[in-house]
Amino acid sequence: MSKRKIILDVDTGSDDALAIMTALLAPEHFEVVGICSVHGNRPIENTTENTLRVVELLGSEVPVIRGCAAPLTAQIDPLRALRIRANQKELEDGEQVQYHAEQLPLPPATRTPLPGAYASIWYIETLMAAKEKITLVMVGPQTNFALAYRIEPRILEQVEEIVIMGGGHDQHNSTGAAEFNIFADPEAAAIVFECGEKVPLTVLPLDATHLANMRPHHEALFRSWGTAVGDFVADQIRERLDAYNVMQPLHEPDIAPIHDALCLIYLMDESVITKKKFVRADVVCGGMADGDTLFDTRYYTDRPKNCTVCLSTDEEKFAALFVEVLSRAR
């Protein structure tokens, strides 16, 4: 596969952090043009600082650009008060489990986000000036790019592909109908899905990412390195193992989905996805199914097909590739 220029859009976050590391540790596959932070797992101040901490952990100079602090419109209607799933839970012994720490357990960042830059504007400036097409990898709410596209639709002309971690066909997490990244800003997702009629859009929903797991023996492997990087990765895996065991048991115990990293592993080796289909995809905005992603898998669809949806993953291949790439930081 030829090397891609990519822009990451992240709500860092434990699995976002591991996705950023995957991208930065595979320079033969990715030239990371920039990393945009967005609201989501934690407030924008935290997701921005956490992104900077991860980038500095690997000694990278890639620019981090601060993005939107809130969804486009989803928080305006009080009847749509977003019932975002709890990020943490207190246990009887006083301990707490959480999916995403407010501040990642890394040294405070020594640098700031790109001064005077705002992600949506930076997208426009970067894409309009791009000499080669760029792949957009969005693993949080899609607010930043949706706003950029509304300001300047011509930016799509320099987009190679849009890859999103989000949505669910048969699996959900924020509500019985929705996955977090979509539920946090359904209107933004709907705008980005609209782009799928003009540029290639690939969506990796929970159906695929619930099979992109790390397990206790992977935690132990990274811990065995005895280094700051190995301990950080092990800590993120352990935090996610505990959170899923307590708050969201999946198809078997002691598994931790590394949702966001699957997007990068897929771009490195598409065979990690064992089932995908070109479909019509739409997003429900408002009502009982607010944030639901409708993947119309029928042969004849009412509207143009606009998305390749990934529906299953080779768990072993994901784990092997993910460990191989992160092991470059040993």
Amino acid 307 reads C
Asked if 139 touches Ca ion (CB under 5 A), the answer is yes
- Residue from the set 9, 11, 49, 207 that interacts with Ca ion by CB under 5 A: 11
Does 221 sit near Ca ion (CB under 5 A)? no
First to last CA, the chain: 25
**Total of residues contacting Ca ion (CB under 5 A):** 6
Binding at 67: pick from ligand RIB, Ca ion, none (beta carbon under 5-8 Å per type): none
Report the nearest approach of ligand RIB to the CB of residue 100 (Å). 7
Q: Is 140 in the site for Ca ion (CB under 5 A)?
A: yes
Question: Hey, what amino acid is at 7?
Answer: I
- Rounded Cα distance, 130 and 126, in Å: 6
If one asks whether residue 257 binds Ca ion (CB under 5 A), the answer comes out as no
Which DSSP helix (H) or strand (E) runs through 156? none
Part in contact with Ca ion (CB under 5 A); list of ranges 12-20, 54-62, 152-160, 200-208: 12-20
In whole angstroms, the minimum distance from the beta carbon of 224 to ligand RIB comes to 26
**Residues taking part in catalysis:** 259
Give me the torsion for CA of 68, 127, 135, 277, rounded to 10°.
Answer: 80
| Spatial distance between the Cα atoms of 69 and 13, rounded to a whole number of angstroms | 15
Pick between residue 41 and residue 135 the one whose CB is nearest to Ca ion. 41
- Interacting residues with ligand RIB (CB under 6 A): 11, 13, 15-16, 40-41, 139-140, 165, 173, 179-181, 259-260
C-beta closer to Ca ion: residue 213 or 221: 213
Q: How far is CA 232 from CA 3, 209, 236, 270, in A?
A: 28, 21, 6, 27
Residue 233 in 3-state DSSP?
helix
Cα gap 75→289, rounded to integer Å: 16
Q: Give 140 or 167: the residue with its C-beta nearer to Ca ion.
A: 140
Minimum distance from CB of 138 to Ca ion (Å)?
Answer: 9
Helix extents (H) in the chain: 14-24, 44-57, 119-129, 143-151, 180-183, 186-195, 206-209, 216-223, 228-247, 259-268, 315-326
Which residue sits closest to ligand RIB, CB atoms considered?
A: 180
Of 5, 6, 8, 13, the one binding Ca ion (CB under 5 A) is 13
Q: To which H or E segment does residue 89 belong?
A: strand 88-90
Closer CB to ligand RIB, 38 or 147, in the complex: 38
The residues that touch Ca ion, with contacts defined as CB under 5 A, are 11, 13, 16, 139-140, 260
